[in-house]
Structure 1
Amino acid sequence: MAKTAPKRQACPGSCHCGLTKYIVFLTLPHPFSSSNPPKWAEQEIYRCNCTVCHKMGFLHVNPAHPRDDFMLLSPLDPDRDLNIYRCCDKKQKYYFCPRCGVRCFTLGGESETVVIDFKDLVDGKEKKREVWRAKWDGEKDTEPYVSVNGTTIDAREDLDLRVLTEEKRVQYFDGRSEPEKEKEPRWDRPHDGGSY
């Protein structure tokens, strides 16, 4: 059976109770591995062994283009309607549902609510919809950081988390060590204190 060529797809996701709903656009099946690592502005799937990522069990799925590839459908004001845990010198916000406690995504940077034409993006049924997303910081011109918790993406065959691990398509970062002693990312196993 021939393998399917990777293509960009709309992947819906949510928290357990459904208060938080989003769409992330990913290239699936995930094409990157140790022999074909992602370059800048390509999606990444990784685990970090820093204490916050480890304790949350966060499987980072970073879309290639944070502003255009992640759209929060509900709630439209997550700073008001979701709970937030700030870390990384309070520059990153880990949003989590106040009802079920599931952490769906992280944002570093600014955000905005905009109207998007969904007709060509998703299924052709819905035309325009208001969404919340990351935005470019005009003054600093800094790219936002968006990371989706891969375990909150709705189940699908072309994003099988077990297969990603078995095929060594998940990168492991050393975020626990001091920056000057940080080990290089690897694909075969987590760094000390990390998990698969």
Structure 2
Amino acid sequence: MAETAPKKQACPGSCHCGFTQYIILLTLPQPFSSSNPPQPTQQQIYRCNCTTCYKLNLFHVHPANLREDFMLLSPLDPDQDLSTYQCYDKKRKFYFCPKCGVRCLTFGGVGETEVVDLTELAGTKDGKREVWRAKWGGESDTTTYVSVNGTTIDYREDFDLRALTEEKRVQYFDDRTEPEEKKKEVRWDRPHYGGSY
């Protein structure tokens, strides 16, 4: 069977109870691997070995365009309606559903609500709908960060976390290195010390 050419697709996701719902636009099948690594401005699928990501068992999916490729459908005020956890420098928020406890996203920066036409974008009949998304500060914006937990993306055959791991399409970052040490290079075959597959 011939491999499908990668194309951008709307991938819905949610927490377990459905209170938190989002759409992330991803290029699938995942075009990047150890032989073709992504650039920082491209979609990334990764795990890191920091204590937070390890304890929360996070499987980061970082969209290519932080503003255009992620939309929170529910709730529209995550700071008010979702629970948050912050650690280290407190620049990023790990958002949790207050009902079922599932963490769907990590966000850093400023968010805003706006009306988006989901008809063509997500292939739905929803039409125009209010969503919450990153407010982009321009090309020099280094504070905006968006990542969804890959385990909360609704099941689809072209986004199989096991297959992505086996095909070496998941990056493993080292974030446990002491500040005075040099960080280790990104791996594609196995996690760094203290990380999860």
Note whether the superposition's TM-score is higher than 0.5.
Answer: yes
* 1:82 counterpart residue number: 82
SS at match of 1:79: helix
* Percent of aligned positions that are identical: 71
Aligned length: 195
Please say which of residues 173-182 and 78-87 is displaced more in the overlay. 173-182
Q: Gaps (5+ residues) in structure 1?
A: none
Aligned 8 A contact 1:117 1:128 in 2:
yes
* 2:49 counterpart residue number: 49
In the TM superposition, 1:99-114 aligns within 5 A as: 99-114=99-114
SS at match of 1:113: strand
Once the two structures are TM-superposed, the CA of residue 143 in structure 1 deviates from its matched residue by 5.4
TM-score by length of 1: 0.96
In the TM superposition, 1:168-183 aligns within 5 A as: 168-179=168-179, 180-183=181-184
* 2:188 counterpart residue number: 187
In the TM superposition, 1:147-158 aligns within 5 A as: 147-158=147-158
Structure 2 residue 48 is matched with structure 1 residue 71: no
Once the two structures are TM-superposed, the CA of residue 126 in structure 1 deviates from its matched residue by 2.1
Deviations 1:56-92 (A, max 9, x none): 0000000000111000000001101000001240100
CA distance in 2, matches of 1:129, 1:88: 35
Please say which of residues 19-28 and 142-151 is displaced more in the overlay. 142-151
Q: Gaps (5+ residues) in structure 2?
A: none
Once the two structures are TM-superposed, the CA of residue 119 in structure 1 deviates from its matched residue by 2.0
Aligned 8 A contact 1:136 1:143 in 2:
no
CA distance in 2, matches of 1:7, 1:143: 28
Once the two structures are TM-superposed, the CA of residue 27 in structure 1 deviates from its matched residue by 0.3
Once the two structures are TM-superposed, the CA of residue 38 in structure 1 deviates from its matched residue by 0.2
Deviations 1:131-176 (A, max 9, x none): 00011237x7445110000000000000001101111110000011
What amino acid maps onto 1:126 in structure 2?
A: D
Please say which of residues 30-39 and 120-129 is displaced more in the overlay. 120-129
- RMSD between superposed Cα atoms in Å: 1.3
* 1:2 counterpart residue number: 2
- Check 1:141–1:38 CA distance in 2 against 1; reply closer, same or farther (3 A cut): closer
What amino acid maps onto 1:91 in structure 2?
A: K
Deviations 1:89-110 (A, max 9, x none): 0100000001111000000111
Please say which of residues 115-124 and 93-102 is displaced more in the overlay. 115-124
In the TM superposition, 1:92-131 aligns within 5 A as: 92-131=92-131
Once the two structures are TM-superposed, the CA of residue 181 in structure 1 deviates from its matched residue by 2.4
Q: Give the ranges of 4+ consecutive aligned residues of structure 1 lying more than 6 Å apart after TM superposition.
A: none
CA distance in 2, matches of 1:173, 1:195: 11
CA distance in 2, matches of 1:167, 1:142: 31
SS at match of 1:53: helix
* 2:166 counterpart residue number: 166
